[in-house]
Structures are given as structure tokens and as C-alpha cells.
Amino acid sequence: MSATTADGAGEATGAGGEGRSPAVREPLLCFPDPAPAALAKCLAEAGYPYQAVSGADRARDAEPEAGFSGGVVSAAEDPEAALALCRALRGAESPLTPLLLVVEAGQLGTLEGHDELFDDFVLVGSLGDELEARLSHLLARTGRGKHRDVITYGPLALNLETYQAVVAGRPLDLTFMEYELLRFLAAHPGKVFTREVLLSRVWGYEYFGGARTVDVHVRRLRAKLGEEHANLIETVRSVGYRFGRVRWAP
């Protein structure tokens, strides 16, 4: 069994983890053992220590006294074994949550009817920012992740605990999804996102609305930000949207 930490300690080390503070207090459970190279690299770069396990028995033996912070289970190599592990973890006296499942695009059909076994999933081809964002969201929701209480960018401040937003000292009256969209964009300043990616990351895989939903919410956000600050959300022609192209003085 191998373990790795965000600072590179342990039998197996992931690239890019050196010098970073752990993103969670206790390690994540990771399946299988050894962890797939791409997954191990992503977890290390994101600052997540993990303990790789080969099955439910090893998971019980390796569980820290305070419990795992969550789990990342790759079904790419052996989907039946992965789902069996999820079933065991969910059926334990203290069910493990959150559980993020990593799957190949061609395996999506195997997830049908098993929603109770995991909290979210990510495609193997979307490892990196996608995995980090979904894992961070799940851990924040359960109170196990370390995350900033406030996102600030120039005149904008978003309180992640109270769901309040303020621009230039003026409170913004936002709907939940307006806030979620603004929060996501503000957390990734300077990065361009297509409408499809925003739908997936903000509204989720189960949302069936069209890309126009994003346009409508962006238009509403700009109106509420006001003319002076509407350009915080920039339209990138034929691509999507970018937040905070202009670098604000501290």
C-alpha cells in the first residue's frame, strides 16, 4: 500500500506538490493501489495527501483515527471493483463521504442506477482543474476542505460562508445561481470558459438547459454589477466568458 502527501513525503510522490500546504487535514482514500499516474499527479499538484488502497479490507486497515477526508475512486481500470468498494464504503457504520468517481467516457452507462454510491464523477480526460474544482466543492460542502472564506478581486468581494457579494461597498442582490456563477468566475480570474464548461461546472451534469442560460445569467450579473463594473465579466467572442482581465491594484 502506498501513501503520498502534498509535500512529497511517502512511498509514492506526485509532481508539483512540494512546498504546498495540505488541502485537507486527513488524507483522501484513493483507489486503486497504486494510484494511476495521472490521478496521483493531479492530487499532488492540488495539494491533496492521499492513501492508496486495493479494496475495502485495506481501506479499513489504513483508515486514520480521524477518518479519511473523502475518497477518489478510479473506475477506469476495473469498474466492478470500484463500484464494489464504493458500496462497501457507503455501507460502513460511518459511511465515507464525499466520494468522487473517476470514469472513462465509455463507462458512463455503468453509473446508471448507482447514484447512491458516489457524490460526483469526473472523466479521465478532464483530470486536472476539473478534478480539483469538483473535489474542492465536495469537500467544502462537507466542511472537510480548507478553503478561503472570502474571494476578493478589485472592488468585488464574495463571502463563501454567507453567500453575500459586495462590489465597491455596495451589496448585490443575487439569486443563488447568479452567485454561484460569479463565484466560479471570480475564483478563476483571467481564464476563459466556454458556455458548455460553465454549464457543467456551475449548473452540473444533470442540468439540461441550453447555453443561453449562461448568457442570461451573465447579462443579469452585469446589470447588477452596474455600468462601472460590468466589464469584470468579459465576453470572448466565439468562445465564452472571462472574468477579471484587468489587474486591479491592491
Q: With cut-offs at 50, 70 and 90, classify the pLDDT of residue 2.
A: very low
Write the burial class of residue 159 (CB in 10 Å: 0-12 exposed, 13-18 middle, 19+ buried). Answer: middle
Residue 74's CB: how many other CB atoms inside 10 A? 23
CA distance 156 to 165: 7
Question: How high is the mean pLDDT of the chain?
Answer: 82
CA distance 193 to 201: 10
Given a contact cutoff of 8 angstroms between Cβ atoms, the answer to whether 177 and 184 are in contact is no
> Which range has highest mean pLDDT (8-17, 136-145, 168-177, 241-250)?
168-177
Residues of the chain with CATH 1.10.10.10: 175-243
DSSP assignment letter at 47:
T
Q: Residue 20: pLDDT above 70?
A: no
Cβ neighbors of 96 (< 8 A, separation 6 or more) are 29, 67, 68, 70, 71, 89, 90
Given a contact cutoff of 8 angstroms between Cβ atoms, the answer to whether 103 and 124 are in contact is yes
Estimate the share of the chain in helix, then strand, then coil, as percent rounded to the nearest 5: 35, 20, 45
Which grid cell sits at 1? 500500500
Give the residue, 74 or 142, on which the prediction is more confident.
74
Per-residue pLDDT tens over the stretch 182-192? 998 988 877 88
- Pick the range with the lowest mean pLDDT from 8-12, 70-74, 245-249: 8-12
Q: Residue 171: pLDDT above 90?
A: yes
CATH class of 3-142: alpha beta
Per-residue pLDDT at 84: 95
Given a contact cutoff of 8 angstroms between Cβ atoms, the answer to whether 75 and 46 are in contact is no
Mean pLDDT of 73-84: 94
Residues of the chain with CATH 3.40.50.2300: 3-142
Considering the segment(s) 175-243 as one domain, its CATH architecture is Orthogonal Bundle (1.10)
Given a contact cutoff of 8 angstroms between Cβ atoms, the answer to whether 99 and 90 are in contact is yes
**Helix count and strand count (H, E) for the chain:** 7, 13
Mean pLDDT of 107-122: 87
Given a contact cutoff of 8 angstroms between Cβ atoms, the answer to whether 216 and 203 are in contact is no
